[in-house]
Amino acid sequence: MIYHITTRELLEKARLGGVYGHPSIAEVGFVYCTTKDQTASTMNRKFKGVKGLLLLELDTEEIVAKIVYEDLRGLGEEHPHVYGEIPLKAIVSVLKLVPNKQGEFNFP
C-alpha cells in the first residue's frame, strides 16, 4: 500500500472521470505518494494546518502506471511516485485528515 494526500474536490472529479489524475501529472509527470511511515511527516511538512484533506490508501497491485521510488528533493528517503493516472479500483480507502490544535497530523 501507498498513500496520497488530496482534496474532496479532486476525488469527486476522479469519480466523475473514472480515474484519479492529479494536476501534478501535467506539472511534473507523476502523482506524489508516500509509504505509511512517511505519511505523517509529509502531512506535517507540506500541509500543516490545512483543513479538508483526505488520505487515499492505494493498492499498488491495481495501479497500471509505473511506480518509482525516488528522492528528488534530497531528503534522504525515497518516496513513491506514480507516473500516470490512478484507477479508482486502486483506492482501497479514503480517510479524513483532521489537524490537531497545533495544526499537526497523525497517521489516521
Q: Which band of pLDDT confidence, cut at 50, 70 and 90, is reported for residue 72?
A: confident
CATH topology of domain 2-97: ADP-ribosylation fold (3.20.170)
Could you tell me whether strands 19-20 and 79-83 are parallel, antiparallel, or unpaired per DSSP bridges?
unpaired
What is the pTM (predicted TM-score) of this model?
0.93
Q: In Å, how far are 2, 44, 45, 52 from 97, measured between CA atoms? A: 16, 11, 14, 7
pLDDT tens, position by position, 14-69: 999 999 999 999 999 999 999 999 999 999 999 999 999 999 999 999 999 999 99
